[in-house]
Amino acid sequence: MLSYAVRKLLTLIPVMLGVYTLVFLVMQVLPGDPAKIRAGPGASAEAIENIRHQFGLDKPIPVQYVLYLEKAVRLDFGRSFRTNQPVIDELKTRYANTLQLTVAATVIFLSLGLPLGVIAAVKRNSIWDGLAILVSLLGISMPAFWLGLLLIWYFSVKLGWFPTFGFSSPKHLILPAFTLASYGIAYTARYTRSSMLEELMQDYVTTARAKGLRERTVLYRHALRNALIPVVTQAALGFGLMLGGAVVVEVVFTVNGVGKLIVDGILYRDYPVVQAAVLLLALNFVLVNLLADIAYGYIDPRVRLQ
């Protein structure tokens, strides 16, 4: 098991190197001269040259590639063009918000999506099944930013139940977390339903019924346990997807998270911040996926041998 985990961990190195390279390349083609942006409008040619030198932007690109990598590994991402604060400090506070939002969304999508999928499979073709199918279709097709705006309009503006924006109390968390979770609810309900249906068709279910076990035992002790194996991976993947979805949701609800940091950074051309934030989210995403892989290997020993 340990060797499986280590093997998986090692595969992350080339992937993260690839991610770093891609982000570095993207930053190279970005429009505008970073030194000029950093110096601000009306700066003298000398000042721009100074900044170029100070940030190592006058060095050849391959040298910059290695230098930045070296610093990034030590979590030194330079200073923000906009606030002149170390990027890592800003990332820390922002990341805490994004993590809160993502974790809350994950709790919501699991606690709604899983039961919905199970009930839909157990009571196939019932009204529950119809509801599950409808929810999963709408959840997958609905733009999250639109759902967010509708929720703000109805629950915050019309009913006044929740604040419209900001992120200072648990009450602030509910609407954004639910918006972020909508895709996850849809996806989990759909996935759990089909996984459970597949298990219910297996021979061991017939055997369990034939030997006179109660239906509840057959469903929840036998079928559900097996049906949940692939769902565990999907849940972890879902958490990762929430990280990406957070970008849009944070903008809708003005949550000061990493996603909003990236979007603002792009609009203000604050490149060091964008670069670091994108790297952070990607690293976070691959680590979660890795955990999902390892968990899968732990629950289902057949996977480890492949």
Partner 1 sequence: MNDKAGRAPGQDSVETAVPAGMVFAPLRPSRSFFSLALSQLLKNKVAVLGGLLVVVEIVVAILAPYLAPFDPLDQDLKSTLLPPLTEGHLMGTDDLGRDMLSRIIYGARISLLVGVAVVGIATVVGVPVGAAAGYSRKLDRWISMGVDTLLAFPGILLALAIVAALGPGLINVMIAVGIYSMPMYIRVVRAQVLALKEREFTTAARAIGVRETGILFRHILPNCMGPVIVQATINVGTAILSAASLSFLGVGVQPPTPEWGAMLSKSRLYVVTAPHAVTFPGLAIMSVVLGFNLLGDGLRDALDPRFRR
| Binding positions for partner 1, rule: CB under 8 A | 11, 14-16, 18-19, 21-23, 26-27, 29-31, 137-138, 140-147, 149-150, 152-153, 157, 240-241, 243-245, 247-248, 251-252, 262-263, 266-267, 274, 278, 281-282, 284-286
Distance, in Å, from the CA atom of 160 to the CA atom of 75, rounded to the nearest integer, reads 42
CB of 35 to partner 1, least distance (A): 18
Upper half-sphere CA count for residue 178 (Cβ side, 13 Å):
15
What is the rounded (10 degree) CA torsion for 52, 56, 59, 61? Answer: -110
Taking the least distance from each CB to partner 1, the nearer of 118 and 241 is 241
Spatial distance between the Cα atoms of 180 and 97, rounded to a whole number of angstroms: 14
Give min distance, CB of 192 to partner 1, in A.
17
CA dihedral 148, 149, 155, 159 (to 10 degrees): 180
- CB of 228 or CB of 277, closer to partner 1: 277
- Least distance between partner 1 and beta carbon 3 (Å): 21
State the nearest-atom distance from the C-beta of 19 to partner 1, in Å.
5
Q: Which of 89, 43, 82 is nearest to 276 (CA)?
A: 89
Report the C-alpha dihedral over residues 105, 111, 113, 119, rounded to 10 degrees: -170
Nearer to partner 1, 20 or 167 (CB): 20
- Least Å distance, CB 230 to partner 1, is 17
Based on CB atoms, which residue is closest to partner 1, 132 or 219?
A: 132
| CB of 47 or CB of 266, closer to partner 1 | 266
Residue closer to partner 1, measured from CB, 208 or 240:
240
Place of tokens 């000029």: 36
Kindly tell me which of 224 and 274 has the beta carbon lying closer to partner 1: 274
Nearer to partner 1, 213 or 263 (CB): 263
Q: How far is the CB of 200 from partner 1 (least distance, A)?
A: 17
Nearest distance from C-beta of residue 234 to partner 1, angstroms: 15
Shortest Cβ 32–partner 1 spacing (Å): 10
Whole-number Å distance between alpha carbons of 37 and 273: 13
